[in-house]
């Protein structure tokens, strides 16, 4: 049982500590590891939009006020680096875009960002449509589909094909299992505030190292193909090994780091968004009906391998609602590099600042009826820092628009032929791993439409 204390007005005026639990035994951290989403909700409900509690020997601050979030992630971003809560999930990736800091991150981001420009997506759409169609062609009326492994394998093939011009169709299950072993909930190194790779021992360490070797072999193979000039050029390949004199040349190890980063981060985001999209459709028949009607109308005259966002307005709004209710990245963290004012308090440089898109997106002060799936809410837009599924500021996801388009196109392929229903006994309860996963692999029952 936790004991609680609340800051007084005199504390606020003196720039003292925010309210939070008295916790000398590490109870909050234990609860965060055991039941992170419920614990975050309880902390905000009890103490408000900025909460202080100890995490691993340093002060931690849970921040859910959008104004303060914007300050940390965007306005004052130069005064912060990634916090421990996020670094543990990327420690096994090397110094790629997700894990790098400072000037290295700025250079890598500038180098990679053009590869994810909106103008490239029409060229990707036919391949995405083909892969999604191949997946749905294997389904039969009345099947119970475990959507996590299905969407994981599809996402790996999509990312590999459009980014690397390589389709790992034969070994995709082995590659998917390896990625899950490295960044999934079964790896103790990815637990909230763990010691990263140093926390691995025994069979856990052996299993993760074997999985990492599979991923390394894949990345090494991609770079070797590029060096031999095999296959077609892709925007990412051009960004990493192209002759652009404005960017420093990367050695093979650095290129492999970025290949691993794009593979793992890209497929995790896409997989989670697709899993929760199908889960939400299965639980919201009126929304599913409207998505199906829009898809039918669009594909009546639009070739299936093309994508015109203007024809999928409701579907795109639905994807935004999926990302609001189930943001793939449910926790962001930062550490100030100097004393920083925040919300009337002075935050020390060793502090851990936690920002949870899950909390922000489900706050009734930011969204009316926040637990309901209401795509129409996106007709009027929203304030920037109240919707942060891809982060915000100079560390925000460079592939955000691509991800939304990819999910929308895959949903169009699925919903044009199939209706999805929650499978008997299946629970939509999320698991907060490095991304939000669904228990029981998010099983759904599918039925052939009309």
DSSP 419-444: EEEEPTT----EEESSSEEEGGGGEE
Taking the CB of residue 174, how many other CB atoms lie within 10 A of it?
13
Q: Is the pLDDT of residue 128 over 90?
A: yes
pLDDT at 90 (0 to 100):
57
Q: Is the pLDDT of residue 245 over 70?
A: no
Q: Is the pLDDT of residue 414 over 90?
A: yes
| Cα(406)–Cα(132) distance, integer angstroms | 10
Point out which residues pair with 332 in neighbouring strands. Answer: 355
Average pLDDT score over residue span 365-380: 93
If DSSP codes are grouped into helix, strand and coil, which group holds residue 318?
helix
Residue that the structure tokens 């790779």 belong to: 197
Q: What is the pLDDT of residues 331-368, one digit of tens each?
A: 999 999 999 999 999 999 989 999 999 999 999 999 99
User: Domain 65-448 adopts which CATH fold?
Assistant: Cytochrome p450 (1.10.630)
If DSSP codes are grouped into helix, strand and coil, which group holds residue 158?
helix
Average pLDDT score over residue span 147-172: 91
Taking the CB of residue 82, how many other CB atoms lie within 10 A of it?
19
If DSSP codes are grouped into helix, strand and coil, which group holds residue 93?
helix
Q: What is the pLDDT of residues 54-65, one digit of tens each?
A: 887 889 999 999
Q: Is the pLDDT of residue 330 over 70?
A: yes
Does 195 or 230 have the greater pLDDT score?
A: 230
Average pLDDT score over residue span 21-48: 88
Q: Is the pLDDT of residue 37 over 90?
A: yes
Average pLDDT score over residue span 115-129: 92
Average pLDDT score over residue span 66-70: 96
What does pTM read for this prediction? 0.92
Taking Cα atoms as reference points, which of 202, 108, 143, 41 lies closest to residue 448? 143
Burial class (CB in 10 A: 0-12, 13-18, 19+), 139: middle
Domain ranges for the chain: 65-448
Q: Is the pLDDT of residue 389 over 80?
A: yes
Q: Is the pLDDT of residue 151 over 70?
A: yes
Percent of the chain at pLDDT above 70?
90
pLDDT at 432 (0 to 100):
86
| Cα(296)–Cα(162) distance, integer angstroms | 26
Q: Is the pLDDT of residue 429 over 60?
A: yes
Total count of residues recorded for the chain: 450
Q: Is the pLDDT of residue 131 over 80?
A: yes
Taking Cα atoms as reference points, which of 387, 372, 250 lies closest to residue 327? 387
The answer for residues whose C-beta is within 8 angstroms of residue 73's C-beta and 6 or more apart is 80, 332, 334, 355, 385, 388, 391, 392, 393, 395, 396
Q: What is the pLDDT of residues 261-317, one digit of tens each?
A: 999 989 989 999 999 999 999 999 999 999 999 999 999 988 887 888 899 999 999
The least confident of 16-20, 59-63, 149-153, 154-158 is 16-20
Average pLDDT score over residue span 3-13: 43
pLDDT at 184 (0 to 100):
75
Confidence of residue 12 (pLDDT cuts 50, 70, 90): very low
């Amino acid at each position: 049982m936790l004991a609680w204390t609340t800051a007084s007005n005199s504390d606020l005026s003196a720039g003292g500590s925010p309210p939070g639990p008295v916790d000398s035994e590490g109870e909050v951290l234990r609860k965060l590891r055991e039941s992170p989403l419920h614990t975050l909700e309880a902390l905000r409900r009890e103490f408000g939009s900025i909460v202080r509690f100890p995490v691993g020997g340093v002060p931690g601050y849970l921040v859910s006020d959008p104004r303060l979030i914007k300050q940390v992630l965007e306005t004052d971003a130069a005064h912060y680096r990634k916090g421990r809560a996020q670094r543990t999930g990327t420690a096994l990736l090397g110094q790629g875009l997700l894990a790098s800091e400072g000037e290295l991150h700025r250079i890598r981001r500038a180098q990679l960002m053009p590869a994810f420009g909106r103008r490239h997506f029409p060229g990707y759409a036919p391949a995405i449509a083909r892969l999604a169609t191949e997946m749905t062609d294997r389904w039969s009326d009345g099947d119970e589909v475990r959507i996590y492994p299905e969407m994981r394998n599809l996402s790996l093939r999509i990312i590999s094909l459009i980014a690397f011009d390589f389709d790992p169709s034969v070994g995709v299950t082995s590659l998917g299992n390896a990625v899950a072993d490295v960044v999934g909930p079964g790896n103790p190194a990815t637990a909230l505030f763990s010691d990263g790779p140093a926390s691995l021992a025994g069979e856990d360490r052996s299993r993760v190292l074997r999985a990492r070797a599979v991923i390394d072999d894949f990345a090494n193979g991609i770079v070797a193909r590029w060096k031999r000039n095999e296959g077609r050029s892709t925007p990412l390949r051009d960004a990493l090994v192209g002759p652009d004199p404005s960017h420093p040349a990367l050695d093979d190890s650095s290129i492999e780091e970025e290949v691993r980063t794009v593979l793992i981060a890209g497929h995790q985001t896409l997989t989670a968004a697709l899993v929760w999209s199908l889960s939400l459709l299965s639980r919201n028949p009126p929304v599913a009906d409207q998505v199906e009607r829009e898809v039918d109308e669009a594909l009546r005259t639009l070739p299936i391998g093309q994508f015109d966002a203007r024809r999928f307005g409701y579907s795109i709004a639905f994807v935004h609602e999926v990302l609001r209710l189930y943001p793939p990245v449910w926790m962001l963290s930062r550490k100030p590099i100097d004393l920083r004012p925040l919300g009337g308090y002075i935050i020390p440089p060793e502090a851990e600042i936690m920002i949870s898109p899950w909390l922000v997106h489900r706050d009734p002060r930011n969204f009316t009826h926040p637990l309901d799936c209401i795509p129409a809410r996106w007709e009027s837009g929203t304030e920037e820092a109240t919707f942060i599924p891809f982060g915000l500021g100079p560390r925000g996801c460079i592939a955000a628009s691509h991800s939304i388009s990819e999910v929308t196109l895959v949903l169009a392929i699925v919903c044009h032929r199939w209706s999805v229903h929650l499978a008997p006994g299946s629970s939509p309860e999320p698991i907060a791993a490095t991304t939000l996963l669904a228990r029981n692999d998010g099983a759904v029952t599918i039925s052939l439409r009309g």
